[in-house]
């Protein structure tokens, strides 16, 4: 064969191979994510992974910590996770570098109908600040001061729930955003034991977060309450935000804190917006009937991150850690301290890697709660007598996550919404909690975002 012919044949083979490989890669991409034609969230950001230095751990490692009640290792792992989800990315968001968690999929995107999801790349990129769903379970009135007036620093609490790519992909691939699909699953169990009636487990690298926000003015000081424990509330057994007696002045960037402190010598701390992770609000955030629409704030004011739940599926029951803003920066374990940059060093942590201290019935319950979200609950919120929000555990609460919801009329007398439990071991086969429903692998977002079938 002539040299020129041989070269030509080789070139043809290379082109053919390239076409085949390109088709294979395209097929893999399509198989990976067949229901998502976009890669941009409704916040206008591209989801980013955890930084390479952070490693999710094998379940055997974490379960050993649980058996040995090794809170030190759990806490160090939680701090490392905090450093990872708050690591700044190359994504720009309203003039700041977006941390990892902010780039992830908001729950409205994850459970959106396909036509709405396809429009995300060209959306207005407003943030849907939600009133926390669990507040629908609170019956008692929020506490006020002795004269009946709201305490200084009261304002509505808002959240955004965000999921990383593995959760997003599983929901989209299985169409868990459709009532018809979930109804078909829920009606198919037949003689399957209740304990096994569940959606497929999410991947072990799944991470979900629930950031909690308060707001501050851009042109004047803002009064905000801050958490120092249940005792510093005028309702210590159910200390809802709004009843906290410790409050501070939060100044916008550029306002001199020393001058303000001298002019307002009232004994309350004076801090800056820069002591919180924050970003400015835009007109797109003020959607009709949203939590911001009647808040008194306006575009240009700031959203302040005051707390966040973070959960990973490193173990079957997920790991649970919660972080909240602290007036005094906390002591972070030495190996992790360099990974956590200001202002994220202004937060404290609690961990809940088990139902009880060692996952046995006789052990003390593990306590892990966001004071801005769960502290408000009194016993009327729960199905078990004597339970309070300040004694709650994320794992127990999320173990009860199901679809569809059950009518409150079926709840025991004096309680609301069956299936809401503060702490303790939860039997996955409990017929009261789970009969007629499908467990959603600890993810409340399914029930909160996908409507139940018609009566």
pLDDT on residue 118: 82
pLDDT on residue 38: 61
- pLDDT tens, residue order, the chain (455 aa): 544 444 444 444 443 433 333 433 333 223 334 444 468 999 999 999 999 999 999 999 999 999 999 999 999 999 999 999 999 999 999 999 999 999 999 999 999 998 888 887 677 789 999 988 888 777 544 444 444 567 899 898 999 999 999 999 999 999 999 999 999 999 999 999 999 999 999 999 999 999 999 999 999 999 999 999 999 999 999 999 999 999 999 999 999 999 999 999 899 999 999 999 999 999 999 988 889 988 899 999 999 999 999 999 999 999 999 999 999 888 999 889 999 999 999 999 999 999 988 777 767 888 999 999 999 998 888 888 889 999 999 999 999 999 998 776 666 666 655 678 888 889 999 988 899 999 999 999 999 999 999 87
What is the spatial distance between Cα 142 and Cα 140, in angstroms, rounded to a whole number? 6
pLDDT on residue 52: 97
Q: How many C-beta atoms lie closer than 10 Å to residue 4's C-beta?
A: 8
Q: Output the CA torsion 351→355→356→357 (10° steps).
A: -40
* Per-residue three-class SS string for the chain: CCHHHHHHHHHHHHHHHHHHHHHHHHHHHHHHCCCCCCCCCCCCCCCCCCCCCCCCCCHHHHHHHHHCCCHHHHHHHHHHHHHHHCCEEEEEECCEEEEHHHHCEEHHHHCCCHHHHHCHHHCCCCCCCECCHHHHHCCCCCCCCCCCCCCCCCCCCEECCEECHHHHHHHHHHCCCCHHHHHHHHCCCCCCCHHHCECCCCCCCCEEEEEEEEEECCCCCEEEECCCCCCCECCCCCCCCCCECCEEEEECCCCCHHHHHHHCCCCCCEEEHHHCCEEECCHHHCCCCCCCCCCCCCCCCEEEEEEEEEEECCCCCCEEEEEEECCCCCCCCHHHHCCCCCCHHHEEEEECCCCECCCCCCCCECCECCCCCCCCCCHHHCCCCCCCHHHCEHHHHHHCCEECCCCHHHCCCCCCCCCCCCCCCCCCCCHHHHCCCEECCCCCHHHHHCCCCCC
Angle at 95 (CA atoms; ends 92, 98), nearest 5 degrees: 40
pLDDT on residue 417: 59
Across 61-100, b (16+ Cβ under 10 Å) vs e yields ebbebbeebeeebbbbbbbbbbbbbbbebebebeeeebbb
Is residue 270 within 8 Å of residue 249, measured between CB atoms? yes
């Amino acid at each position: 064969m002539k040299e020129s012919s041989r070269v030509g044949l080789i070139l043809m083979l290379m082109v053919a191979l390239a076409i085949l490989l390109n088709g294979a890669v395209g097929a893999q991409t399509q198989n990976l994510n067949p229901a998502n034609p976009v890669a941009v969230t409704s916040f206008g950001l591209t989801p980013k992974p955890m930084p390479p230095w952070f490693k999710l751990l094998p379940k055997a490692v974490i379960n050993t910590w649980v058996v040995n009640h090794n809170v030190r290792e759990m806490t160090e792992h939680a701090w490392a996770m905090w450093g990872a989800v708050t690591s700044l990315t190359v994504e720009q968001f309203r003039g700041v570098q977006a941390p990892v968690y902010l780039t992830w999929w908001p729950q409205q995107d994850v459970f959106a109908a396909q036509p709405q999801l396809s429009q995300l790349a060209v959306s207005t990129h407003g943030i849907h600040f939600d009133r926390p769903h669990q507040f629908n379970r609170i019956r008692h009135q929020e506490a006020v001061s002795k004269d009946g007036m709201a305490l200084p620093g009261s304002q509505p609490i808002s959240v955004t729930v965000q999921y990383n790519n593995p959760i997003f992909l599983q929901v989209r691939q299985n169409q868990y955003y459709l009532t018809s699909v979930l109804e078909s699953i829920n009606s198919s169990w037949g003689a399957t034991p209740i304990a096994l009636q569940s959606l497929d487990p999410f991947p072990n690298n799944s991470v979900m977060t629930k950031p909690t926000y308060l707001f501050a003015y851009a042109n004047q000081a803002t009064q905000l309450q801050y958490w120092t424990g249940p005792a510093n509330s005028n309702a210590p057994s159910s200390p809802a935000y709004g009843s906290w007696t410790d409050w501070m002045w939060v100044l916008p960037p550029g306002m001199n804190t020393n001058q303000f402190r001298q002019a307002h010598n009232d004994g309350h701390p004076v801090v800056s917006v820069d002591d919180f992770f924050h970003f400015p609000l835009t007109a797109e955030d003020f959607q009709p009937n949203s939590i911001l629409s009647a808040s008194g704030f306006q575009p240009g004011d700031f959203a302040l991150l005051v707390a966040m739940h973070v959960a990973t599926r490193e173990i079957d029951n997920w790991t649970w850690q919660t972080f909240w803003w602290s007036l005094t920066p906390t002591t972070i374990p030495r190996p992790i301290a360099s990974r956590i940059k200001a202002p994220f060093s202004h937060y404290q942590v609690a961990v809940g890697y088990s139902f009880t201290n060692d996952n046995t019935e006789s052990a003390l319950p593990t306590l892990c709660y966001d004071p801005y979200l769960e502290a408000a609950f009194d016993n009327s919120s729960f199905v078990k007598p004597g339970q309070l929000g300040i004694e709650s555990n994320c794992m127990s609460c999320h173990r009860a996550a199901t679809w569809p919801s059950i009518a409150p009329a079926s709840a025991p007398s004096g309680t609301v919404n069956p299936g809401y439990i503060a702490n303790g071991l939860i039997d996955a086969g409990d017929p009261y909690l789970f009969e007629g429903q499908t467990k959603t692998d600890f993810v409340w977002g399914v029930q909160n975002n996908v409507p139940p079938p018609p009566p």
